[in-house]
Structure 1
Amino acid sequence: MKRAFGLVLIALCILTTGCGLTVGTSYTVSGRIVCADDDSQGIGNVHVGFSGSRSVEITETRDDGTWTVSGLRGSVTIAPASADWVFEPGYRQVSGAEQDVGFTGIRSAANSLGFQQVVAGKNYALFLRADGTVYFWGSSGSVYTYGAAMRVSGIEDIVAVAAGAYHSLALKADGTVWAWGANDRGQLGNGTYSDRCDVPAQVAGLSGVRAIAAGEYHSLAVKNDGTVWGWGDNSTYQIGRDAPTTTPMPVMKVGMGSVASVAASGYRSLALKADGTVCQWGFWRIALPWGDSTYWLNRYVGDAESVGLQGVISIAAGSEHSMALKNDSTVWAWGVNSHGQLGSGTEWDHDPLRVEGLDGVVAIAAGDRNGLAVKADGSVWAWGANTQNYLGTGTYSAIIPPTMVMGIAGTAAVASGEQVIAAVDCFGDLWRWGMSYPGASPAVLYAIGAPRRISAF
């Protein structure tokens, strides 16, 4: 842990070289971290990081939970970190001398909440509990939490969740779909283009749904009859050729049937059919090699095209690549491979390629230029973009082939967003890694390395 924070400190110092680390009057800040259930008990041996445009420091709490750091300059974000605790608030910001800057620690003990699904948006994650309740962690609009996850109010009896860039979906046991978050492209399906709605509301005119997915600005649903319905952004045909550029109400995709599930990214959509084949439509890029150069052709496809796979049981859509899990527990990927997100050394591949070095896989996730897989033994494997150990594998560059994520075991499901990776384990614990405070501003972001537990209220 000390080595990881030391590397972060060095990296941030390098990034801020020449930016005036010594400019301005220095000041001292002190505080204490205490237990949530007994504020007389301090928490010792907790790393406390201080990051800003003019200061980068790190210290450790004393046995009584107190800490002090001097020589800070400018505005600074203070953030405690521990593998055994989560903290409220997740961070504090100061710009001058202060005393008694307090944090409360909640012990990360294995829980019995029974979380069974996790999805990730741009800066946040949703966790679905077995009792049908949904929990939120991260940042979305004016709603944020960087300590414990908080329950999403106003919905219950949920059987599936989906996360877009800035909006969320939930499928109820009665087959209705509920949405909240951003709505500038009509992605909430309420018939309007209102700015946003942070209270879940039912998607109008949609019932009998069995599967859902959320792209960056569009939403998808599969009805019990196997038809696909979409709403929101359709600027690249990610809903379908026959729909308008944006639609704030669900419309059926013509020519699609016998669909079991769907996946969505920023500008394209995928469908897994009941026979184990996969179709895609929307926008993607195709590389055209020309001598020593590569030219990229933009394709806009309104009618679903087969990707040429059979025996598929699960699909995932990343920013510019897609993934499929087959019934033989192998993982296949296709699309742009700028950072190794296909798990191979090729620059791109329109046809699916097997991700080498993976077998016994039970779950997959595709993020922003990365891929993740959960094996039957509960281990998590990652590949692709990995700046500053973003994927938690212990290395600091793009990963090819897949490498095991350190510090997490017994994993049941994993999800990858743009700035956050999240997982649930077989004990019901919640985990997150990726960036330090996704979406926080003006906090300085850095990769946190090994996964950390999240507590639920």
Structure 2
Amino acid sequence: MRKTTRTVVATIATALSIGVVAGLAGTSAAYQDVTHARTAAIAADVSAPFQPGLAKNSRMVDTGLGLSNDGKVYVWGYMGSGAIGGPSSPLLGGVPPRAVLDLPAGIKQVSGMQYDVNALAPDGTVYGWGEFNTRNGTDAFRAWNTPRQIRIGTAWNGTGPLLTGATAISSTETAGAAILDSGRIYSWGALSYGGSSTDGAQPVAGLPDPTVAGNRPVYIKGAYRNFFVILENGDVYAWGGDSSTPSGYTSSATAKKVTALSSWFKSAVAPGQPYIVAVDGGINMGGAVLSDGTFLSWGSVASRVGARSGVPMTPALVPQLTGIVSMQFGFTGVIMAKSDGSLWGYGASDDYGQLAQTPAKVDDNVRQFASGQGYYIWQRADGSFRGRGYNPQGAIGTPIGTITTNRPVSWDLSALVQ
């Protein structure tokens, strides 16, 4: 659902890589893999010691999110009641980029929901803060909206053990999740969006035993209302809502194999044939990148699948899209990078960024990019940032207002340059 500041607008409904937004660096090697070993892109996203730049998992409405090269979390645009920016944050929107205080040094990864944020600390704990403690996993009042560590089974100030050993995090619209070094996955936030039914984090049921060879999760991505996970053997699982999932999956708090994609599982294809390495989705639409750079889409209507023909919510290749190395869905559109550095995308008829309904080039010479719920932002090779889409609070700079063409971002985002 689209939010205008803090109100839902029901008429409308966030990258590859672990979430994802990913920059091009370290991704293209994955698409030359024909041995069916764990791909470089997936391995890098899960195990990378540091992920600076635009947030690689962000489903925020009015707020920009990123991680600086020295491990500080930056936010800009809408600060809500001061919560998103942390202690002493200014109110309302139009706020220039600012570092969030009271976090440990060297944050490894940051992930955003509508109006809440999670951060992965160097010690493997996860911090949460923002407007809704029931979404970010803290589940109790935090003085001055200070980031606090998530616990298992209780609020941040309870007696449950700290969630530790996290190696990767991601977010849906109102829930978060983490892969632990044990191979287990824990989630928190709204249950119907892939979260937990109790305070704090809880283990996700239904996934295969990660101690068995091939069963360790190597990829996690929060789509609109569900999480996608790819195991080391290439099988794809999901839990949460069913808006972003292909046909055959129904909403579930327990992880289930996404059988509609099984023809493209690494475990199912012949040697040398392409298999799924990333999966994501928006409202009534989704897609997957294959190891040869081709792209599968599914959606409820033609404008949600790249204007190709086909059965609703049934996966099929988009002929115009090849050489894809990274992608991220927003609410009703998707942008993706090709190996030549060009940025492509398509959007539904109600896409706020008004991307073409047939896949089309958005820009050239792109280093990194991100999708919010209704906006798109990216960095070009010359270091400059551009954006388009829903912008009532300055997530893609000022002046505010929905921007339907590419526009330079007015904020100084040099701390996030890749």
TM range (shorter): 0.5 to 0.7
Work out the CA distance in 2 between the residues paired with 1:139 and 1:179: 18
Task: Determine whether 1:166 maps to 2:174.
Answer: yes
**1:257-287 deviations in Å (ceiling 9; x for gaps):** 1222222323333222222222122435539
Alignment of 1:55-454 (within 5 A): 87-88=87-88, 113-142=105-134, 143=139, 147-153=145-151, 154-184=162-192, 187-188=194-195, 196-206=197-207, 207=210, 208-234=216-242, 236=243, 238-243=244-249, 245-254=250-259, 255-257=263-265, 258-284=275-301, 286=303, 300-306=312-318, 308-336=320-348, 341-342=353-354, 348-349=356-357, 351-356=358-363, 358-359=364-365, 361-376=366-381, 379-398=384-403, 400-411=405-416
Greater shift in the superposed pair: 199-208 or 385-394: 385-394
Shift of 1:298: 12
Shift of 1:226: 1.5
Letter in 2 for 1:398: I
Work out the CA distance in 2 between the residues paired with 1:299 and 1:318: 22
TM-score by length of 1: 0.56
Work out the CA distance in 1 between the residues paired with 2:165 and 2:121: 10
Ranges in structure 2 where 5+ consecutive residues have no aligned partner: 1-79, 92-97, 152-161, 211-215, 266-274
Q: Share of identical aligned residues, percent?
A: 20
- Cα 1:175–1:337 change in 2 (3 A) is same
The SS at the match of 1:401 is strand
Q: Is the 8 A contact 2:224 2:331 kept in 1?
A: no
Letter in 1 for 2:203: Q
Shift of 1:385: 2.0
The SS at the match of 1:184 is helix
- Cα 1:242–1:175 change in 2 (3 A) is same
Shift of 1:108: 6.8
Letter in 2 for 1:268: M
Which of 1 and 2 has higher RCO (CA within 8 Å, sep 6+)? Answer: 2
Letter in 2 for 1:317: F
Shift of 1:387: 2.5
RMSD: 3.6
- Cα 1:306–1:79 change in 2 (3 A) is closer
Normalized per residue, which structure has more strand? Answer: 1
Greater shift in the superposed pair: 208-217 or 150-159: 150-159
Q: Is the 8 A contact 1:88 1:148 kept in 2?
A: no
Work out the CA distance in 2 between the residues paired with 1:141 and 1:109: 18
Larger Rg: 1
Ranges in structure 1 where 5+ consecutive residues have no aligned partner: 1-77, 92-105, 189-193, 288-296, 413-425, 427-457
Q: Is the 8 A contact 1:261 1:273 kept in 2?
A: yes
Alignment of 1:14-93 (within 5 A): 87-88=87-88
Q: Is the 8 A contact 1:228 1:256 kept in 2?
A: no
Work out the CA distance in 2 between the residues paired with 1:156 and 1:375: 36
Letter in 1 for 2:149: R
Match of 1:446 in 2: none
Letter in 1 for 2:148: M
Q: Is the 8 A contact 2:87 2:101 kept in 1?
A: no
Greater shift in the superposed pair: 382-391 or 225-234: 382-391
- Cα 1:383–1:307 change in 2 (3 A) is farther
Q: Is the 8 A contact 1:285 1:299 kept in 2?
A: no
TM-score by length of 2: 0.60
- Cα 1:131–1:385 change in 2 (3 A) is same
Work out the CA distance in 2 between the residues paired with 1:273 and 1:162: 21
Letter in 2 for 1:281: W
Work out the CA distance in 1 between the residues paired with 2:218 and 2:322: 22
Shift of 1:324: 0.5
Shift of 1:376: 5.0
**1:232-252 deviations in Å (ceiling 9; x for gaps):** 222x5x333233x32232222
Shift of 1:370: 1.1
Q: Is the 8 A contact 1:158 1:170 kept in 2?
A: yes
Letter in 2 for 1:137: W
**1:355-383 deviations in Å (ceiling 9; x for gaps):** 13x42x23221122210113456554221
Work out the CA distance in 1 between the residues paired with 2:393 and 2:89: 25
- Cα 1:170–1:386 change in 2 (3 A) is same
Q: Is the 8 A contact 2:102 2:147 kept in 1?
A: no
Letter in 2 for 1:319: F
Work out the CA distance in 2 between the residues paired with 1:367 and 1:240: 22
Work out the CA distance in 1 between the residues paired with 2:112 and 2:226: 15
Shift of 1:80: 7.8
Work out the CA distance in 2 between the residues paired with 1:80 and 1:220: 31
Shift of 1:117: 2.5
- Cα 1:219–1:229 change in 2 (3 A) is same
Letter in 2 for 1:303: P
Q: Is the 8 A contact 1:339 1:398 kept in 2?
A: no
Normalized per residue, which structure has more helix? Answer: 2
Work out the CA distance in 1 between the residues paired with 2:168 and 2:296: 22
Letter in 2 for 1:308: Q
Q: Is the 8 A contact 2:333 2:351 kept in 1?
A: no
